[in-house]
Structure 1
Amino acid sequence: MIRILLAEDDDSMRVYLARALERVGYSVVAVDRGTAALKVLEHESFDLLLTDIVMPELDGIELAQRAATIDPAMRVMFITGFAAVALEGGQMLEQAKVLSKPFHLRDLVGEVDRMFEIGSAADI
């Protein structure tokens, strides 16, 4: 089973995204900030880091950079309302995907499915 580490500081969004991904068969561990995600990564491995960019303490870009040193094979997807600003700085990881808010759950699941060449998005 594909394991996803979700880092999202908005409580309702975090619960909403985790439930949607679990409903189509992904295993999700959800945390409310980048520093919490790093602690989890020290003890567990994941196939995908799904992270908001703007978060307190440690933003999603820095989280992804640090996570890449812990597990270089882990894929990264950013979810954000500030994608244009983040992309301007050229700080994104080379293979990372960016999904701009607002988005439909089908879009999120479809992007994750494509990353792993799975076809579950129709189930949303």
Structure 2
Amino acid sequence: MEEALARILLAEDDHSLRNFLAVALQRAGHEVRAVDDGLAAADALEQGGFDLLLADVVMPGLDGIELARRAGKQYPNIKIMFITGFAAVAMSARSAPPKGARVLSKPFHLRELVGQVESFLAA
């Protein structure tokens, strides 16, 4: 079995979207741990070893911005990418994403997501 290209923690509260994203990333060769909210993602982060946190901005329990802040403090080398349909609202100055984070606005094509993830990981 081939080694995964990257270990990705996917935090998305929409069940269908989470499954589509996880499958697309797995087919591209990545190892994906998919969880349904920010609190579950924070728990998964405790185990470490992730190359990328791919998180929705608006989630129950713990939003993606706070999750990313925690991840960045705990693992300074983790890359952070947000997927959101509310970019303009969620990315206000008060809740600015961590430095170096990327934002992919919904709707997007799965190929676009995979391409964005791979270029971000390669950067």
Both structures adopt the same fold (TM-score exceeding 0.5): yes
Give the deviation of 1:84 after TM superposition: 1.1
Question: Which piece of structure 1 moves more, 83-92 or 29-38?
Answer: 83-92
Structure 2 Cα separation of the partners of residues 116 and 43 of structure 1: 20
Structure 1 Cα separation of the partners of residues 75 and 13 of structure 2: 22
Question: Which piece of structure 1 moves more, 81-90 or 12-21?
Answer: 81-90
Give the TM-score of the pair, scaled to structure 2.
Answer: 0.91
Structure 1 Cα separation of the partners of residues 10 and 44 of structure 2: 11
RMSD across aligned C-alpha pairs, in angstroms?
1.3
Which of residues 46, 51, 54 in structure 1 aligns to 2:50? Answer: 46
Residue 25 of structure 1 aligns to a residue in which SS? coil
Question: Which piece of structure 1 moves more, 39-48 or 95-104?
Answer: 39-48
Structure 2 Cα separation of the partners of residues 52 and 12 of structure 1: 13
Uncovered stretches (5+) of structure 2, i.e. residues with no partner: none
Match of 2:98 in 1: 93
Structure 1 Cα separation of the partners of residues 122 and 55 of structure 2: 20
Match of 1:9 in 2: 13
Give the deviation of 1:74 after TM superposition: 0.2
Uncovered stretches (5+) of structure 1, i.e. residues with no partner: 119-124
Give the TM-score of the pair, scaled to structure 1.
Answer: 0.91
Match of 2:122 in 1: 117
Give the deviation of 1:44 after TM superposition: 2.8
Give the deviation of 1:94 after TM superposition: 1.0
